[in-house]
Structure 1
């Protein structure tokens, strides 16, 4: 198991990434505070780091949109990771598009090419919290499902590939129902694939959520400024995998798909399966649905949930994750802000935070690398 205290990024380079033409940032401490005006490029650096995890990063953006306007059309991000007394160089980026308009993503570890960002999971795990998640508990189930899959992906790097394969299989089934509804042989085949992938996705989600809920229950502290949450899954397939072994769950799911063909064809989509799962969150101390809590309570609950997830990632993977917090401190009162810093101090991973006002991080003076960003550049603090 990696010594979590010995793992951190010591250098971050971003070339032609968003508004950063050629940024080279050296780091010394476990806390990193990026300060600067809105639009300076602070969140862009968090996004660059998030690319060292499976998926499309914290903005879920298309890769080509990350290339700097006016640049050559591609971008490169590299990081030096200090780990257990050794250093590893991680790199990712996109080559400028070819004649067909396509761009190829490149991933490297210690100078050698690797097939995909999944390879980074051997060295690095990343969790994050951004303002986009503020409405998570009141928003549509699809938002919570994406958040759920990000929770799973941080502990199971192959989860994203399973979800993508499941979504492709569902699209194939929907197309068959629309164009060839009487082709039972092909529908049987694609539903078998949907059932296998769907149960695999549901089981991975269930394991992560159950472990997270158990960890929260075992470590909860009502005196903390961030209330503890209870979490569970709600959905027809989630009920199946909670009761039946995987093979039996696949058979029952496949039967439900077969019986639901007329209904799904009329609806134009598959109505049962992991694509309808919801993550149900309750405010633990008050024992009420998270969606009914006040805005401030929801923010605090979400922070507590992300911090608990970081502890789970370390427990399950043996790697203390990098924690990326975008504009979190600005929305907290002084008591909760101090509580956040204390909670982060107790976690083993490196923490990156952004904020417009350097005063937000005054309590971290001497413990954090304070980095001022302006117009995509690092500028001296006194400038």
Structure 2
């Protein structure tokens, strides 16, 4: 059964190990099988570039272009999107340091955030397995991508905050304690930083409410934020902005000595708990962590549909191999219920037998994709 929001074609040129590749899709879920290293994840990465940012690997554009190619790379897709049928093309021209270009229906787009008017893309990859035990920066990035799927303005908010913070750090490192200049930057950081914190908190509150409504075979995640006004973020935003501005002003000498800004939303951390066991996810077994992360991503997909009115495109890289047959079948059923088109990879087609006629299967070999 075709998904509500779905790609109808995908074409790659000089992308990773693909000189040329094309898929004609009929709206069903897409299952990509093949040996390790064949290029399955590369196809998911191409789809992930239909969203703002650098995709699911966060690779540089030089890394994405096929080795030996001189003209950059391109990804072209047609889809039934949130605003109707649309064609999207993105890529680079191969020049060193060149930015990613984007065309929507053949016209240049002002920003990659324009993609959010047509689709939302979420993903789960093996590289995310260490999310709960890794660095806080990775969890913040994961959290901000979740917020972006339901609040398209959040990406610009984060970018502008980081830009203002870098300018402040540079002034402090150079010993330029100009009150007017620093105050202007700090007021901008306060406005953006509190808005970021409130948006993150709102996202987690909505997720918590949704998780309590849905019964799934996966562990229920419970989330919280630590650091940066974590205990009083419910106070009026204008009061928090004033407090943060004062905090930044009083911390100038300290931050100058540290070489960085020590207070702000860039120091928050996302903490996830196994709700049934009441333990922090980082303390659970590897299997529990994988199941918790999958439950969190699925809950976020449901929330994205509820808030935006449309299901996301979902990318699951090698997810089925770690699930028993009952949980695999449950996963596929939940994906169907969410309603978005899912792209899934694996080395063994048999792992996806429960998808049945709801899936369109492709065999991936090095540099080539054929219908299976």
C-alpha separation in 1, matches of 2:253 and 2:98: 40
Q: Please tell me whether residue 152 in structure 1 is matched to residue 147 in structure 2.
A: yes
Q: Please tell me whether residue 204 in structure 1 is matched to residue 234 in structure 2.
A: no
- Cα gap change, 1:109/1:85 in structure 2, threshold over 3 Å: closer, same or farther? closer
C-alpha separation in 1, matches of 2:331 and 2:320: 8
Q: Unpaired segments of 5 or more residues in structure 1?
A: none
Tell me the residue number matched to 1:60: 58
Tell me the residue number matched to 2:34: 36
1:265 to 256, 267, 270: 256
Q: Please tell me whether residue 241 in structure 1 is matched to residue 239 in structure 2.
A: no
The one-character-per-residue Cα deviations of 1:52-106 (angstroms, maximum 9, x if unpaired) are: 1111111111223211112223111111113589532111111231xxx342422
1:349 to 330, 340, 348: 340
Q: CA deviation at 1:380?
A: 5.3
1:13 to 11, 14, 30: 11
Tell me the residue number matched to 1:252: 243
2:293 to 288, 295, 302: 302
Tell me the residue number matched to 2:161: 166
C-alpha separation in 1, matches of 2:220 and 2:189: 35
Q: CA deviation at 1:225?
A: 2.2
Q: Please tell me whether residue 108 in structure 1 is matched to residue 103 in structure 2.
A: yes
Q: CA deviation at 1:158?
A: 2.5
Residue correspondence of structure 1 range 23-102 to structure 2 within 5 A? 23-83=21-81, 87-97=85-95, 101-102=96-97
The one-character-per-residue Cα deviations of 1:294-326 (angstroms, maximum 9, x if unpaired) are: 111111011000000001111111121000001
Query: What is the root-mean-square deviation in Å for CA atoms of aligned residues?
Result: 1.8
TM-score norm. by structure 2 comes to 0.95
C-alpha separation in 1, matches of 2:83 and 2:299: 27
Q: Is the 8 A contact 2:34 2:347 kept in 1?
A: yes
Q: Is the 8 A contact 2:361 2:371 kept in 1?
A: no
Q: Unpaired segments of 5 or more residues in structure 2?
A: none
C-alpha separation in 1, matches of 2:59 and 2:81: 29
Q: Is the 8 A contact 2:3 2:340 kept in 1?
A: yes
Q: CA deviation at 1:271?
A: 1.3
Q: CA deviation at 1:215?
A: 1.2
TM-score norm. by structure 1 comes to 0.92
C-alpha separation in 1, matches of 2:97 and 2:254: 38
Q: Is the 8 A contact 1:153 1:159 kept in 2?
A: yes
- Cα gap change, 1:22/1:252 in structure 2, threshold over 3 Å: closer, same or farther? same
Tell me the residue number matched to 1:227: 219
Q: Please tell me whether residue 128 in structure 1 is matched to residue 120 in structure 2.
A: no
C-alpha separation in 2, matches of 1:164 and 1:13: 30
Tell me the residue number matched to 1:278: 269
Q: Is the 8 A contact 2:79 2:86 kept in 1?
A: yes
- Cα gap change, 1:280/1:129 in structure 2, threshold over 3 Å: closer, same or farther? same
SS at match of 1:349: coil
Residue correspondence of structure 1 range 364-383 to structure 2 within 5 A? 364-379=355-370, 381=372
